Chain A
Amino acid sequence: MSSVSAPSPTNQPSETTSHISSYPKFIGRSLWLATEGSLGFYAWMTMLTALFLVGANAWANQVAGGMIGTNMTDQVSWGLYIANFTFMVGLAAGGVMMVIPAYLYHDRKMHDVVIIGELLAIAAIVMCLMFVVADLGRPDRFWHLLPGIGKFNFPISMLTWDVIVLNGYLLLNLHICGYLLYMRFLGRKPNPVWYIPFVMVSIVWAISIHTVTAFLYCGLGGRPFWNTALLAPRFLASAFVSGPAFIIVAMVLIKRLAGVGGLDQPIATLTKIIRVTILVNLLMVASELFTEFYTGGSHVSAAKYLFFGLHGKTALVPWTWTAIGLNVTAALLFLWPGLLQFRWRPLLVAACCMAFVGAWIEKGMGLIIPGFVPSTLHEIVEYVPSQLEWKVTVGIWAFGLMIFTIAIKTALPTLKHPAEH
């Protein structure tokens, strides 16, 4: 065990000291560490707090006044919240693209920083749960969803599966990260028995969270736009674009702001992963579009609405072409071998941002909304998020970034001075 991180001797319980006293100390120290930082850090956290408060206030107003404050309707009954939820599940699953090289292929460098992916999963899942709660008409009845005291329609309802897999994934990652950081705090070598099996389960689990989320939509026969077997693979492919893209940007920032070394090789690995997944994703989108447009008929109306507008209604057209533009540009940039060169770092970050935003639109506004337009009675009711919805969404994003920032700060000693294996 390296001693560079210098855990103070008081933190190191002898074999006889119980965890009951050392665990609160660990939590306390983590909190303390997480709230230490430069002026820039405080400014960043203050801004996130402010945005979060705006969102919290907007949500409270939504609960008090009814969801009439959103622009959702009986025709388009899910909007920005569920769009973001879907995307965030992907982001959470995307973290596994670090875990697989680190644990299955024993990529040492990746292993040293794999906790970034796991922490991202935690933050993303928390955001998912917040988006779901924001979307509920009766958040006060949330307890009806709890197995045991509520009435849990398992296994028939895919939503109950989602509740299980999302919370399970959250617990898995909390356990893995918590255990590793705690052992680090104690200055002990983590015992593989206590985390390797969980890591292996979390790999399968990451696939499952996004598959189940896709099954939420693709199991609905009344919504032809979603009713495709390609949905789950597409979700996974785009998740493995957006997740690594976010992590690359995060790593570039962590390197610059916190001076963490050893990130270049993981960045290269993730770039290579995106290079493949972004093409797979585009291929599946293209194949979906071919099937829709070449076949024609009334199944194509949602896709027509999405790409060209229907009966003069074109609210989604700019969104979807932006997404296509971003995705294709990002894909071309990733294909270029020079992107990995150090001097092109800003371009890599730009490509990641494009891929990230592209996936966000494609899976959110470009997937959830056209499922409802035209409606099941072929009414064309358009949806543009209301100001309230934007506020709540920004608030949740701010909160998620807050969690991620704090989590990364907590893990910084580990990242800076990786343990020996």
Chain B
Amino acid sequence: MARSINLIFVGTVLVVVSMVGVVIARQSTFKASPNTQQASDNASSSDAHSAGGETTSFPVVIHQPDGPPRVKLAGLDPQGRTGEVACSTCHAVRQPNFENKTTETLDEFHQGLVVAHGNLSCYSCHNPDGSDTLRQADGTKIEYQDVMTLCSQCHGPQATAYAHGAHGGMNGHWDLSRGPQVKNNCVDCHDPHSPAYPKMVVGFKPKDRFNTPVENAGH
């Protein structure tokens, strides 16, 4: 009897020791693994590409509008042609009407244009003194290509986030030492007249077996 109790005791001790062993081994493998693996086999890829961005060679390309927008003609011109014209085609010969604060008061052109961008009126952004350009809050002229500067006057946090890749999305390479990166412009995603991002329809769903929608769900 005493012998068997001793045996059981030894067995228990062994189990406890081995459990402690697991815990220690578990800890140590995690500490050890980065070093051991690092030494092994990435000599080939380790060459010039340091992480520090010092070797940056490829550019970050930001989409830009081609130039000032072109306005589609509503009807035919006197020669019977359809087409697009520059803003200045009309606005060069018309005086700006600063009383038009919203699209509702437009009675000749641009009817139906929906503007839902805070309390901004047309000339908050469009330049009354040069209709193929925009203007900033301090009155300085700015080209359509540089529209992002204009947006950034109010949307500073977004501009900051954008500058750090945290807004706006991108394509191409995260590692500029290996390839370029292409980034969207504000107006690629946001219509400046109604900048709220539009709703989308979910087009693709994984078909998990036995996981049909429980429409209801109470919540």
Which A positions have Cβ atoms within 8 angstroms of B?
Answer: 71, 73-75, 103-104, 155-156, 197, 200-201, 203-205, 208, 311-313, 379-383
Contacts and interface: CB of A to CB of B under 8 A. Distances in A.
Contacts of B208: 73-75, 379, 381
A155 B218 contact: no
A197 B11 CA distance: 12
From A197, A200, A313, name the one whose CB has the most chain B CB atoms within 10 angstroms: A200
Contact of B11 (A201, A312, A380, A381): A201
Nearest to B14: A204
Contact of B209 (A73, A103, A204, A313): A73
B218 A311 contact: yes
A27 to B, nearest CB: 31
A83 to B, nearest CB: 17
B29 A156 contact: yes
Contacts of B214: 311-313, 380
B71 interface: no
B4 A379 contact: no
A362 to B, nearest CB: 24
Main secondary structure of the interface of B (DSSP, over half): helix
Given A104-B1, A382-B210, A204 B12 contact: yes
A208 B15 contact: yes
Given A200-B4, A381-B210, A381-B211, A156 B218 contact: no
Main secondary structure of the interface of A (DSSP, over half): loop
A382 B210 CA distance: 7
Contact of B25 (A156, A205, A382, A383): A156
Interface of B: 1, 4, 7-8, 11-12, 15, 18, 21-22, 25-26, 29, 208-211, 214, 216-218
A379 B29 CA distance: 34
B11 A75 contact: no
A298 to B, nearest CB: 13
B11 A204 contact: yes
Contact of B217 (A197, A204, A311): A311
A155 B18 contact: yes
Give the top 8 A-B pairs by smallest Cβ distance, nearest first: A204-B11, A200-B7, A155-B22, A381-B211, A73-B209, A381-B210, A200-B4, A311-B214
Given A104-B4, A155-B22, A156-B26, 6 more contacts: A104-B1, A197-B7, A200-B4, A204-B11, A311-B217, A382-B210
18 contacts: A73-B209, A73-B211, A75-B210, A103-B4, A104-B4, A155-B25, A156-B22, A200-B4, A203-B8, A204-B11, A204-B12, A204-B15, A311-B218, A313-B214, A379-B208, A379-B211, A381-B210, A381-B211
Nearest to B218: A311
Nearest to B15: A208
Nearest to B5: A104
Nearest to B12: A204
B8 A71 contact: no
A201 B12 CA distance: 11
A204 B210 contact: no
Contacts of A73: 208-211
Contacts of B21: 155
B202 to A, nearest CB: 16
Contacts of B216: 311-312
A224 B215 CA distance: 26
A66 to B, nearest CB: 13
B12 to A, nearest CB: 7
A155 B20 CA distance: 11
A313 B26 CA distance: 39
Contacts of A311: 214, 216-218
A219 to B, nearest CB: 10
Nearest to B26: A156
A74 B25 CA distance: 30
